[in-house]
Chains A and B, each alone.
Chain A
Amino acid sequence: MIERILLLLLFLAGFYGLIARRNLIKKVYALSIMNMAVLLLFIVEGGGLGSQMPIVDSAGEGQHYVDPLPQALMLTAIVVGVCISIVALTLIYRLYRVHKTLDCEELRERIHHE
């Protein structure tokens, strides 16, 4: 139970950061933290079931495998998360080169009056 509570706190911390932080880079961190919390949830919950190595063959029908799916899914989710961070940081860099600020409210003001 304690790990679920910790993961919930981690997720909420990320969500709070995404909303409350004005610095765009910190927003990207917060997004990664949220992503990571969900990812860990899959791993923690997925690892608790079964005892056998998950190598499927016809002879081993009915064996109690560890479910390999959550980990396989999370590999994909990690790759996707990295791509998102890269695109986000690239956009921020391009914004910074023009406006020399990372504050989202200030950027919004400046872009509005462009």
Chain B
Amino acid sequence: MSSHNLVVLLVLLPLFGVVFALISNRTNRPRVKTVLEWLAAGIGLFCPLIILWALLPVVREGSIAYTVGNQPQVLGIAQRFDGLSWLVDLMGFSSLAVVWIYTRGAGPRGGLFTTLFLIQTSAMAAMGSCADLFNLFVCFEVLGIANYALVALAEKPRAFFAAFNYLAISSASLTFFLLGVFGLYRLTGSLSYQGIVRGLAALPDGGTFQAQLSLACIVAASLVRVALMPLAGWLPDAHGSAPHAVTAVGCGMLLKPPLFALGRFLTELSSGGGRVSALVAPLWNVLGILGVLTALGGVICALSQSDVKRLLAYHSISQVGYIVCAWALASPLGMAAAFLHAFSHAIFKGLLFLSAGTAADAGNNRDVYAYRGARKFLAQAGDRQGITTICFCIAALSIAALPPFSGFAGKHGILHSLEHGRWQYTVLSLVGIGTMASMIKLGRIFFGTPSPAGTDAAAYRINGPIKLSMVLWAIPCVLFGIFAIPLGRFVGALTGAEHNPVPEDLFSASSLGKTGLYLLGAIVLYRLLMGRWGKDLSHRILDLPKGFYGLMAGFVLALCIFCAAFLAK
């Protein structure tokens, strides 16, 4: 089978799995239902991992460009599968597979869930190899529709409302995306990335104003899915109320495929040379700045949260800021560093959501300030070995960027790609201190004298699949940290970076010393935060009004920022 057929299979297999999931939805026999669901997941989630393994040697030699169905260029949809697509797909399929195992223990179960989950998987895989703007739009929409429904599976009014807000902001922004597509199509007569670059280069004036406005629309709409500030308002509400499994992928892994898909389009324009490169240059600068502000804003909001899941959701926004900082360097090295942190974030954030979510369910309490002694409730619920607590600690140490866990390597890669002495470097270091302090605050729920149990706490059970999924994520968290340098070399080779994105002196005395200093800073910050003054300030930030107007205002603001960036050039 030729390599591009294998790439198409990555998109088609999850859809093929959907068939079995839908059949399982129609049967009433529990055993048949279970078998069909496993079959669906086997085809849609586990088989693609084998295909990815088979594709690795091909991808190492170069990218696979093809049109769907071998149609001639004029009719076909252009696709391109390269090293970065391979990496993003690996991150996606492995995360989704682990989370699917978790759902066997904790729910949501059933044919409907598996159907939506697999549709989401397929859209994620298709996004990885998009080289056509309209195809990207369809992928965004399909991924979105599956995601809104998955959030609503929590079956609570809060989740319905959050899903509706998420749907409204993201569909409204996608109409702007479509406008942007229209603008570029009108200028260049093409929808494929390469065609657009050729078309723009051929225009006598570079299509200045119309091209800029179209690009601003496309970038702002795509970044809604990435949850970059000021477009991130939907994320804490939607993922704070969704089922844990949906949050674990939606807040961890699923924010990245749209980012790298957009990155592929923008880098294609950047490499167009001359006027076309100059067209996107101001955009990269402003994205880099937004990345830093997102990292800072996200962590400030996270520090002030009292709900376990909302706290973690704000950390996702903050970490996305980190990733965007390196991504916006628009170099292969920056992309490699961004991917490394994206991958490590997908794993540790998924693990944080699963472990902290399990702890919150075991005591039926989600208040970071009030909940204590989760270890006791976890033991009562069936986790006598303390697996949940250990996994949480691994993930928390990882996000806090302490050695030798994966986040340490990821964040060092990002900081290494930005140069020393730049203001971004300083701000991101401060954000790191905030992240550590916030994890100390969250970690307190596991220890101390147990608080009174919630009403339904006794009914909750922690079973095999829940423990297995957490262990499956905890292992790479540690391994990626220890073997960060060879892993960085591998990622660098696949993305075409000139050298290793992870610094070779990762575990040197100076970087370990700096981490120690940050940790001290974090302890001081935590002390301040838990004082009367800190709690009062937290409460003020927490009470900032959030509503539909805020979401739309954020979008309009982002659109204005991108337009202003072009005008200021």
CB contacts (< 8 Å) of B138 on chain A: these are 76, 80
- Chain A contacts of B163 at CB under 8 A? 91
Interface check B548, CB cutoff 8 A: yes
Residue of A15, A31, A37, A91 near B160 (CB, 8 A) is A91
Q: Per-residue 0/1 for B82-123: is the Cβ within 8 Å of any A Cβ (1 yes, 0 no)?
A: 000000000000000000000000000000000000000000
Q: Which residues of the other chain, A, contact B185 by a CB distance below 8 angstroms?
A: 69-70
User: Which one of B172, B182, B549 contacts A15 once the chains associate, using CB atoms below 8 Å?
Assistant: B172
Is A9 on the interface with B (CB-CB < 8 A)?
Answer: no
**Contact indicator B552/A18 (Cβ below 8 Å):** yes
Closest CB in chain A relative to B538 CB, distance in Å: 18
A104 to B167, CA, bound (A): 14
Assembly CA distance A73 to B148 (angstroms): 23
List of A residues within 8 angstroms of B137 by Cβ:
77
Cα(A88)–Cα(B149), bound, Å: 9
Q: Which residues of A contact B134 (CB under 8 A)?
A: 73, 76
* Docked pose: A67 CA to B189 CA in angstroms: 9
Residues of B within 8 A of A42 (CB): 178, 182
- Please indicate the chain A residues that have their CB under 8 angstroms from the CB of B514 in the complex: none
Near A by CB (< 8 A), chain B positions 17-58 give: none
Contact, CB under 8 Å: A87 / B168: no
Chain B residue nearest to A73 in the complex (CB): B134
Per-residue interface assignment for chain A, residues 2 to 32, with 1 indicating a CB less than 8 Å from any chain B CB and 0 otherwise: 0000000001000100110000100100010
Are A84 and B171 also in contact (CB < 8 A) when A56-B75, A111-B157 are? Answer: yes
Contact indicator B148/A91 (Cβ below 8 Å): yes
Assess the B161–A108 pair: CB atoms within 8 A.
yes
The answer, yes or no, to whether B367 is at the interface (CB within 8 Å) is no
Asked if A87 and B172 make an inter-chain contact with CB atoms under 8 angstroms apart, the answer reads: no
- Chain B residues lying within 8 Å of A15, measured Cβ to Cβ, are 172
* Bound: A8/B502 CA distance, A: 49
Secondary structure call for the B interface: helix
Closest to B149 in A: A87
* CB < 8 Å neighbour of B164 from A45, A88, A98, A114: A88
Q: Is B547 an interface residue (CB 8 A)?
A: yes
Chain B nearest CB from A58 CB (Å) reads 10
Q: Does B158 contact A (CB under 8 A)?
A: yes
Please name all residues of chain B whose beta carbon is closer than 8 Å to the beta carbon of A71 when the two chains form the complex. none
Does B393 touch A at the CB level, under 8 Å?
no
Q: Give bound CA distance, A41 to B217, whole Å.
A: 16
Given contacts A15-B172, A31-B171, contact A95 B157 (CB under 8 A): yes
Judge if B175 is at the interface, Cβ distance under 8 Å: yes
Q: A38 interface residue, CB < 8 Å from B?
A: yes
A98-B149 contact, Cβ under 8 Å, with A18-B168, A35-B175:
no
In the assembled complex, the CB of A20 is this many whole angstroms from the nearest CB of chain B, namely 9
A92 B164 Cβ-Cβ under 8 A: yes
Which chain B residues lie closer than 8 Å to A41 at the CB level?
179, 182
- Quick check: B157 and A98 within 8 Å, CB to CB? yes
Chain A residue with minimal CB distance to B549?
A19
Q: Do residues B157 and A99 form an inter-chain contact, with CB atoms below 8 A? A: yes
- Contact between A69 and B182, CB atoms less than 8 A apart: no
- Chain B residues closer than 8 Å to A70, beta-carbon distance: 185
Kindly state the separation between the CA atoms of A87 and B170 in the bound complex, as whole angstroms: 13
Interface residue ranges of B127-158 to A (CB < 8 Å): 134, 137-138, 141-142, 145, 148-149, 152, 157-158
Q: Number of residues in A with C-beta < 8 Å to the partner?
A: 39
Bound form: Cα–Cα A61–B75 in Å = 14
Q: Which of A77, A92, A98 contacts B178 (CB 8 A)?
A: A77
Cβ B548 vs Cβ A84 within 8 A: no
B191 is an interface residue with CB less than 8 A from chain A: yes
In the complex, B567 has a CB within 8 A of chain A = no
Assembly CA distance A37 to B179 (angstroms):
10
| Chain B residue at smallest Cβ distance from A24 | B164
> Which residues of chain A come closer than 8 Å to B179, judged between CB atoms?
38, 41
- Say whether B157 contacts A18, CB under 8 Å: no
Given the contacts A73-B134, A94-B152, A111-B161, A83 and B172 also touching, CB distance less than 8 Å: no
CA distance A36 to B145 in the complex (A): 18
Q: Check A27 against B141 for contact (C-beta < 8 Å).
A: no
A107 and B161 within 8 A (CB)? yes
Q: A38-B178, A41-B182, A105-B547 are known contacts. Are A80 and B172 too (CB-CB below 8 A)?
A: no
Residue of A nearest to B141 (CB): A80
Question: B535 at interface (Cβ–Cβ under 8 A)?
Answer: no
**Nearest-CB residue, chain A, relative to B133:** A73
Interface string of A97-114 (1 = CB under 8 A from B): 011000011011011001
Please give the distance in Å from B117's CB to the nearest CB on chain A: 16
The smallest C-beta distance from B292 to any residue of chain A, in angstroms, reads 29
Contacts of A76 in B (CB 8 A): 134, 138
Q: Is the CB of A95 within 8 A of B548?
A: no
Using known A-B contacts A19-B549, A105-B547, determine if residue A94 contacts B167 with beta carbons closer than 8 Å: no
Flag if B552 contacts A88 (CB, 8 Å): no
- Find chain B residues with CB under 8 A from A105 CB: 547
Q: Is B539 an interface residue (CB 8 A)?
A: no
Q: Mark A68-90, 1 if CB is under 8 A from B, else 0.
A: 01100100110010011001100
Given A19-B549, A77-B178: A94 in contact with B168 (beta carbons within 8 A)? no
Q: Which residues from A are CB-within-8-Å of B168? A: 18, 27, 31, 88
The 7 A-B pairs at the shortest CB distance, nearest first, are namely A80-B141, A91-B164, A98-B157, A34-B175, A38-B178, A95-B160, A91-B160
A sample of 13 inter-chain contacts (CB < 8 A) reads A11-B175, A35-B175, A38-B182, A45-B182, A69-B185, A76-B134, A83-B141, A87-B167, A88-B164, A91-B160, A94-B160, A98-B157, A114-B158
Q: A88-B168, A108-B547 are in contact. List 13 more A-B contacts (CB 8 A).
A: A18-B552, A24-B164, A38-B182, A42-B178, A77-B178, A80-B138, A84-B167, A87-B149, A88-B164, A91-B164, A95-B157, A107-B157, A114-B157
Q: Which residues of B does A touch, CB under 8 Å?
A: 74-75, 134, 137-138, 141-142, 145, 148-149, 152, 157-158, 160-161, 163-164, 167-168, 171-172, 175, 178-179, 182, 185-186, 189, 191, 547-549, 552
